[in-house]
Chain A
Amino acid sequence: MEIIQKLFANELIVSILLSLLPLVFIIAYALVVLYTEMKVAAHIQDRVAYMRTGWHGLLQPIADMLKLLQKEDIIPDKADKLLFRLAPIIAFVGTYAAYAVLPFSSIYIGSNINLGAFFLVAVGSLVVVGILMAGWASNNKWSLFGGVRSAAQMISYEIPTAIAIIIVVMITGSLNLQDVTKFQDGGIGNWVVFGGPSPWLQKLMLMPFTIITFFILFVSSIAEVNRTPFDLPEAESELVQGFNTEYSGMRFAMFYLSEYANLFTVSAVGIALFLGGWSSPFGTFMSGPVWGIFWFVAKAYIFVLVQIWVRWTLPRLRVDQLMYVSWKVLTPWLFVCLLSVGLILVL
């Protein structure tokens, strides 16, 4: 950071550059995840996926993106044109804003605010607005279904996420994601998912609850990024493509990108809160600011891999079952965890 500051010596340019950094990262990351997703899905299904563009189809994601950018941008005649144009931007802004508080490394965080975790939850709901807008503005009944479903889903799954965050905040004592990560620094044993760096008796008592909390956060994170088994907003066999149906070209690419960016965000949150963020799992070995970025991205990548694995295994839930899982399973269990963790911490 200091290097860049020295280089340009102008605060505006520096801050613009710094805020553009995640964008570059998102695009690169989306390409990698796109490739991984296709390859993993294919191999799970005994296929090989693309093999022609580059070595084992390595260039295919780039080709896909270029194709999307070149495509004709179609706005339906009867659509609400303003909202239709606005929707992908809002959805993307919602996901992009979350990157401001993600602690990529001990020295790189967009904005080290004290309400980091809270900000994440708040900004994350902006995506719902974008999707709802897209669903409504398309003037397509299937899109509308997708939009409404998505709104209901994201709102119900934000509650388990928020409670899970509260549990971690209770243990670590801070809403600042950088502080939360620093709290877990120093090896795999200090991660919150294993009870955090507390005395071993307390740790042992905390462990079952933190593991359950982490698992629930994982489930609700899948729901928040609309992936199977919770991919109701874009359920292909039911709603064709949900809110995406009428979008094409650049605007569709925006939604696509925001989906993958969101995928990283939820994994990053899970990592920063539970799996020690940028800290190395081996204590001081391989730790440092640069290694920090590596660990953060690597952990997020593994998180995403598991999500992909789940996606290509399970069928989809129905709307009412989705609500059942959120309100009758995840939320009550989290409340139990919340109370128990609180009690253990007081004792």
Chain B
Amino acid sequence: MPAVGTYFYNIFHSLYTVIVGMKITIKHLFTHSATVQYPTVKMKIPERARNRLYVNIDDCIGCDQCSMACPVDCITIDTIKSTPDVDLGLTSKNTKKRLYVPRFDIDIAKCCYCGLCVWPCPTDCIVMTDVYEFSEFDRKKLIYSFSNMSTDEIAGAQERLKKYDEEQAAKKAAVKAAAPITPPSSKPESSAS
């Protein structure tokens, strides 16, 4: 009778498969564990690991390309133009820096670690490091400011730029004011004012 046959077959087959499974698990009972004791033992991180962002601000030329490439808008960059009399130095790639970077903030809480900001950087100053332990209790502490300019310096730079702009504007105005004189035809309004 097949029905009786399947009944017995089922019983013995289930016992057999159970024993097969138990054999596997008991083997694993005596093998080495696959885990490590994390904070004390750490696994090796490969070279290319993409973790926390780091900006070498000395090399930054304030080109804003990383901020443009970021899909989650976590990088905020402000720049101030330098005046010609100030030499901001060279980057490690021997390009001339022309902009002050008073603000280079990365909101690491927003960062999605895609690495898209790293590639467009012309001076390779924004990189992903292998630091991955940086949790904070306060979310505001996750906004990292990389700029090394003090408020005085920023104010100074702004003032200088303002002065320079004013000077330039004054020069331009002077040129402009001078320009209408050189051609013979003069306008009555300009002369009136």
Residues of chain A touching chain B, judged by Cβ–Cβ distance below 8 Å, are 40, 42-48, 51, 309-310, 312-314, 329
Report the bound CA distance from A135 to B18 in whole Å: 31
Nearest 8 CB-CB pairs, A to B? A46-B34, A313-B25, A48-B33, A313-B21, A44-B25, A43-B29, A313-B22, A44-B29
- Show 23 A/B contacts (Cβ-Cβ < 8 Å), sorted by A: A42-B33, A43-B29, A43-B30, A43-B33, A44-B25, A45-B28, A46-B28, A46-B31, A46-B32, A46-B33, A47-B33, A47-B34, A48-B33, A48-B35, A48-B37, A51-B37, A309-B25, A309-B26, A310-B18, A310-B22, A313-B24, A313-B25, A314-B18
Residue of A nearest to B39 (CB): A52
Residue of B22, B30, B32, B35 touching A309 (CB-CB under 8 A): B22
Is the beta-carbon distance between A313 and B37 smaller than 8 angstroms? no
- Docked-complex contact A44 and B34, CB < 8 angstroms: no
Across the interface, do A313 and B18 meet the contact criterion of CB distance under 8 Å? yes
Which residues of chain A are within 8 angstroms of B26 by Cβ–Cβ distance? 44, 309
Report the Cα distance A72→B21, complex, angstroms.
Answer: 41
User: Interface on B for A, CB 8 Å cutoff?
Assistant: 11, 18, 21-22, 24-26, 28-35, 37
The docked-state distance in angstroms from the alpha carbon of A339 to that of B179 is 126
Sample of 15 further A-B pairs with CB below 8 A, known A46-B35, A309-B22: A43-B28, A43-B30, A44-B28, A44-B29, A45-B28, A46-B31, A46-B33, A51-B37, A309-B25, A309-B29, A310-B18, A313-B21, A313-B22, A313-B24, A329-B11
Give CA–CA (A46, B25) in the complex, Å: 10
Give A312 to B27 CA distance when docked, in angstroms: 13
The B interface, classified by DSSP as helix, strand, loop or mixed, is: helix
Residues of B within 8 A of A309 (CB): 22, 25-26, 29
Nearest residue in A to B11 (C-beta to C-beta)? A329
Residues of B within 8 A of A51 (CB): 37
A47 partner residues in chain B, CB cutoff 8 A: 33-35
In the complex, what distance in Å separates the CA atom of A312 from the CA atom of B32?
Answer: 17
A313 to B25, CA, bound (A): 6
A329 contacts which chain B residues (CB < 8 A)? 11
A279 CA to B153 CA, complexed, in Å: 89
Q: How near does chain A come to B68, taking the closest CB pair, in angstroms? A: 45
Among B28, B29, B33, B35, residue most surrounded by chain A Cβ atoms (within 10 Å): B29
With contact pairs A44-B28, A45-B28, A46-B31 given, residues A314 and B37 touching in the complex (Cβ less than 8 Å): no
Contact partner, A314, options B21, B28, B30, B35, Cβ 8 Å: B21
CA of A329 to CA of B22, assembled, Å: 21
| Set of chain A residues within 8 Å of B30, measured between Cβ atoms | 43
Q: Which residues of A contact B25 (CB under 8 A)?
A: 44, 309, 312-313
Contacts of A48 in B (CB 8 A): 33, 35, 37
List the A side residues contacting B29 at CB < 8 Å.
40, 43-44, 309
CB distance from B171 to the nearest CB of A (A): 72
In the complex, A329 Cα to B134 Cα: how many Å?
58
Closest to A43 in B: B29
How far apart sit A51 and B33, CA to CA, in the bound complex (Å)? 13
Q: Which residues of chain A are near B33, meaning CB under 8 Å?
A: 42-43, 46-48
